[in-house]
């Protein structure tokens, strides 16, 4: 995507490296709040469009602390999963593209909440579940053959889990009301923009990245070999790197593998087991 390349060249230096580490900190804070006083989150931190439009703009950031789970066991598993997914995507895509993907998802959530309130007069409290699912969709599209252990037992490829959840989202779009439809579409807007609108995903495909890395190593090795001469005159020490027009031959009368350039092939002294033969070639 040319537009993304332009953005990266211009704003890439502002990318937050290891973004998922900071997101995990937010989830950790949210986990504590939701277990100590969940109403505090709802009243002061949630993505409440009505209150945002009345000046409580901090909510466009603080809603991100909503944890993926409130049970300690599921919370730990979810934290490990989403951190692994996010850091892997950042390594493959680069920090800027991953930042852009994640922040686009956040903006989609905010836009969905505001539109639902403006159009329907309904406060639709969006947490971070759709944001996390968009992260999984991106991972499944990038690593379709990566296997997960469903229920820690059944191996399932990422693409099938992604398709299964995609089908569920489509079902929600069909049976849900317009508020639900807007919430789903805009919340996964980052995935739609980055993948469905992209014509070429090979550059972020791990197989393509590996192929390019192997090719670059081969090119580097070939260039390194080119710096070492294959021929060297035993008399003057010149090689084909000194003059590409030089010709080299081995002498059949010399004992050993002595090679000579065209200027010394017939004028050198033969090398024998007893030293140099004083007779010219």
Position with higher pLDDT, 253 vs 58: 58
Q: How far apart (Å, rounded) are the C-alpha atoms in residues 62 and 70? A: 17
Q: How far apart (Å, rounded) are the C-alpha atoms in residues 114 and 117? A: 5
Nearest to 65 by CA among 125, 17, 106, 24: 24
Kindly list the domain boundaries of the chain, sorted by start residue. Answer: 2-197, 229-280
pLDDT, one tens digit per residue, over 228-243 is 777 788 778 788 777 7
pLDDT, one tens digit per residue, over 26-41 is 999 999 999 999 999 9
Position with higher pLDDT, 4 vs 88: 88
Is the CB of residue 48 less than 8 Å from the CB of residue 125? Answer: yes
pLDDT, one tens digit per residue, over 119-133 is 888 888 888 888 888
CATH number of 2-197: 1.20.1540.10
Q: 179: which residues sit within 8 A by CB, 6+ positions away?
A: 116, 120, 122, 124
Q: How far apart (Å, rounded) are the C-alpha atoms in residues 116 and 181? A: 10
**Over 70: is that where the pLDDT of 200 sits?**
no
Band of residue 202 on the pLDDT scale cut at 50, 70, 90: low
Is the CB of residue 202 less than 8 Å from the CB of residue 208? Answer: yes
pLDDT score recorded for residue 112? 87
pTM for the complete prediction? 0.64
Q: How far apart (Å, rounded) are the C-alpha atoms in residues 56 and 58? A: 6
Band of residue 281 on the pLDDT scale cut at 50, 70, 90: very low
Average pLDDT over the chain, rounded to an integer: 81
pLDDT score recorded for residue 208? 67
Is the CB of residue 261 less than 8 Å from the CB of residue 247? Answer: yes
Is the CB of residue 58 less than 8 Å from the CB of residue 121? Answer: no
pLDDT score recorded for residue 279? 47
Biggest CA-to-CA distance, the chain = 108
pLDDT score recorded for residue 93? 84
């Amino acid at each position: 995507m040319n537009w993304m390349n332009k953005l990266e060249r211009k704003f890439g230096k502002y990318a937050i490296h290891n973004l998922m580490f900071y997101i995990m900190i937010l989830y950790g804070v949210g986990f504590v709040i939701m277990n100590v006083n969940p109403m505090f989150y709802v009243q002061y931190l949630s993505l409440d469009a009505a209150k945002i439009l009345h000046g409580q703009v901090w909510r466009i950031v603080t809603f991100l602390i909503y944890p993926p789970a409130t049970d300690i066991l599921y919370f730990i598993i979810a934290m490990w999963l989403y951190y692994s997914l996010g850091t892997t995507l950042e390594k493959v895509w680069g920090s800027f593209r991953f930042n852009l993907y994640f922040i686009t998802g956040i903006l989609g959530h905010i836009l969905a909440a505001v539109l639902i309130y403006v159009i329907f007069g309904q406060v639709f409290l969006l947490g971070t579940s759709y944001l996390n699912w968009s992260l999984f969709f991106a991972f499944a599209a990038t690593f379709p053959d990566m296997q997960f252990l469903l229920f820690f037992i059944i191996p399932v490829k990422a693409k099938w889990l992604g398709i299964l959840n995609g089908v569920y989202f489509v079902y929600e779009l069909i049976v849900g009301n317009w508020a639900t439809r807007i919430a789903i579409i805009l919340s996964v807007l980052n995935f739609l923009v980055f993948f469905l609108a992209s014509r070429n995903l090979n550059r972020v495909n791990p197989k393509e990245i590996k192929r390019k890395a192997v090719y670059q190593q081969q090119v580097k090795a070939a260039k390194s070999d080119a710096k070492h001469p294959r021929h060297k005159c035993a008399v003057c020490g010149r090689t084909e790197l000194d003059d590409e027009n030089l010709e080299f031959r081995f002498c059949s009368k010399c004992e050993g593998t002595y090679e000579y350039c065209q200027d010394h092939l017939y004028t050198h002294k033969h090398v024998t087991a007893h030293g140099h033969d004083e007779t010219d070639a």
